[in-house]
Amino acid sequence: VDMCHLPFIPMPDTYPVYPSRMQFVHYLQSYQRMLGLDVRLRTCVTRAAKTPDGRWEVHAHDAERGQTVVYRSSVLVIANGMFTKAHIPEIPGRDSYKGQVLHSSEYKTGAAFAGGRVLVVGMGNSGAEIACDLWEQGARPTILQRSPSPLIPRWLVGVTQQVLYRPLWQAALERDPALFWEVVDAVHLWLVRRSFGDVEALGLQLSDRPPVKGWRDMFSAATMDIGTVELVRRKENDIVKE
């Protein structure tokens, strides 16, 4: 809650450390309302170019209105993020498969899968959380873990990672910021091993890739465990390797 708020307006004090999906949605709606922001959803920018007077002219297709809208401004900020399009690989036999195939971006709830078996491909944050939700909704999930996962627990030695690492960060700013990342990675890997125990014996592949280095070098975030490891430990969530 302290790290994911937007500028000027923090999340409410009544929110837990890890807000729910709907709490975050309500926060974004309140943020828009309080700052009077004009937010356009389901709109795709098709063209952006400078005009002779030095301003920007942006053409955007509004899917809700079914028309192209032209915006003109003195400043243009391109901030479309890294995960804008769903990647759906070509899987042999998919066309003849009789069951349902969903991309994680289409997943809303596992209620429709109650009593059934579901294969979740990948153990990133989306896959791990979907597996937990499927189990809570009465399904039997199996995770296909394609490669070792860099896992992190929600709590380390009883506190959040931000609280744990803040003193290290403040000390590093006064000395060598690069050293901070090396220290955090080393401490983190040691704490993760102590937190999860011998997960390899459960069939889970735990990566030894330093989490900060992974994010810095490959923009690959570690998977925050919200209960998947415990489900695997209790044999209520199966794990298979590719």
CA separation for the pair 56, 73 (Å, rounded): 5
pTM of the model: 0.79
pLDDT, tens digit (0-9, with 9 covering 90-100), for 197-224: 888 888 998 887 766 666 666 667 788 8
In angstroms, what CA-CA distances link 81 with 72, 219, 227?
22, 11, 28
What is the widest separation between alpha-carbon atoms in the chain? 66
Please give the structure tokens belonging to residue 110.
């596992």
pLDDT recorded at residue 230 = 93
pLDDT band for position 173 (50/70/90)?
Answer: low
In angstroms, what CA-CA distances link 185 with 80, 172, 199, 214?
29, 14, 19, 10
pLDDT, tens digit (0-9, with 9 covering 90-100), for 93-146: 888 988 999 999 999 999 999 999 999 999 999 999 999 999 999 999 999 998
